[in-house]
Structure 1
């Protein structure tokens, strides 16, 4: 039996009784709804000075202002819902890239047992007879070098077999592909992009979009992918 339900007849003891139910105040919503606005407008009209009534244009301005504010609030809700739908849709689209390779704007690729060959693309501003390709490890040490034909100009496909200068397979890890050639008679470093294996996809946010998780390289935004390859 609850002690709060017993009345002793002693005013002092009865005053010490604990309440049976805790009173939880209702949530106070400070937002002004359309019904609240119309009630306030009706109250304003009923209390106005009959000799100085509210002008029609003032009433129209008040109604227009409230309608605009209410419309913006509804629009914000719709945008939030649209962002959520777009994020989910983009993640679903990106999931189709799992298991494939994507070309990323970085000269660093990853060699592993699963991917012993590193493919990349060097971009040239013009036709170059010989392009010198250098492979460096994460400390900047030269691992291998070779010459490719760049006479076609544009984007030249590169492929490194994962072997060092002695013909031995390198350890798994990140390696940078550097390329240089003569442009207008002067030696110049050329931009290189590499292919990376997509292992999984993260949802990300509405700002970043879907994130592609690359083997050994971390994540990259889907919008930064330059090309997609099956192998």
Structure 2
């Protein structure tokens, strides 16, 4: 009887203990900053801040390959194991892909070094004039005239040259001898048809001549003053900053003038 009564009296205590445990658990869930001292309850507390998973680049690395290889070896049929030649071929293929990836990284580094070296070499052009594939040049206090080159497909007796401002207004016309053919030098002194200096700004050289009996517009390139050099990017290379014109890739320069 004493055993039965002891057991019966312990039941409410057990229920009370369970209720206390439930209350503590609820309190732990509701309050994310309360530490109960119970290792198990503290471990199941809600996190104070949500964890954002890192972005997966979806690229297989060397660790992923060995993990797959281990899984393949562990799951293979013991009566028909993977052939050694196939295993070696798989490892050789992965080594090749890994080598190509490393080679690409080295090439990118090499391109960066070459871009810096190219910019350093191009810095020697600062203060000089370069020929660019554009018929437009700048007139300023430092450069009062405009020089260029007219490209002709064949010998032309007379080439008509016209100077236009940025709005397309005709400033002056004159003729040059194109009987030599090829590249014909052209120079404009920066004076209008009345012999007066023009205002500072952008001006274009237009040229045309008769080719096979028909009048055609001819390609014109102009000289521009290099004021500075920029590193640019791996794709563009060094950039020459031209006075009044803007930037141009070093690879687009047609010629370099002494002055």
User: TM over 0.5, yes or no?
Assistant: yes
Ranges of 4+ aligned residues in structure 1 off by more than 2 Å: 15-19, 27-50
User: 243, 248, 253: which one pairs with 1:220?
Assistant: 248
Is 1:144–2:160 an aligned residue pair? no
Give the SS at the match of 1:205. coil
CA pair 53-115 structure 1, distance change in 2 beyond 3 A:
same
For 2:192, the equivalent position in structure 1 comes to: 164
1:120 paired to 2:148: yes
Bigger Rg, which one: 2
Residue by residue over 1:128-185, the C-alpha shift from the partner in whole angstroms, topping out at 9 and shown as x without a partner, is 1211111110111111111111111111111111111111111111100011122222
1:227 deviation in Å?
0.5
**Aligned counterpart in structure 2 of residue 184 of structure 1, from 212, 216, 219:** 212
Instruction: Give 5+ residue unaligned stretches, structure 2.
Output: 1-23, 35-47
Distance 1:55 1:99 in 2: 69
2:103 maps to which residue? 75
Rounded Cα–Cα distance in structure 1 between residues aligned with 2:109 and 2:253:
26
Equivalent position SS for 1:83: helix
- Alignment match, 2:112: 84
**SS of the counterpart of 2:187?**
strand
Query: Partner of 1:164: helix, strand, or coil?
Result: coil
The whole-number CA distance in structure 1 between the counterparts of 2:111 and 2:82 is: 43
* Partner Cα distance (1:28, 1:223) in 2: 39
Deviations 1:21-68 (A, max 9, x none): x9x99x899876546644654565466443221112321232122212
Mapped partners of 1:51, 1:199: distance in 2: 77
- The 2-side partners of 1:28 and 1:136 are apart by 57
Partner Cα distance (1:151, 1:167) in 2 = 27
Secondary structure, counterpart of 1:191 in structure 2: strand
CA distance 1:47–1:186, change in 2 (3 Å): closer
Looking at secondary structure, tell me which structure has more strand per residue.
1
- Write the distance in 1 (CA, Å) between the matches of 2:177 and 2:81: 88
* Residue 53 (1) aligns with residue 78 (2): no
Which residue number in structure 1 is paired with residue 236 of structure 2? 208
Structure 1: state its 5+ residue gaps: 1-10
Are positions 1:131 and 2:131 aligned together?
Answer: no
Partner residue, 1:98: 126
Question: How many residues get paired?
Answer: 222
Measure, in 1, the Cα distance between the counterparts of 2:139 and 2:175.
21
Structure 1's 68 and 187: CA in aligned 2 closer, same or farther, altered over 3 A? same
In structure 1, the residue matched to 2:5 is none
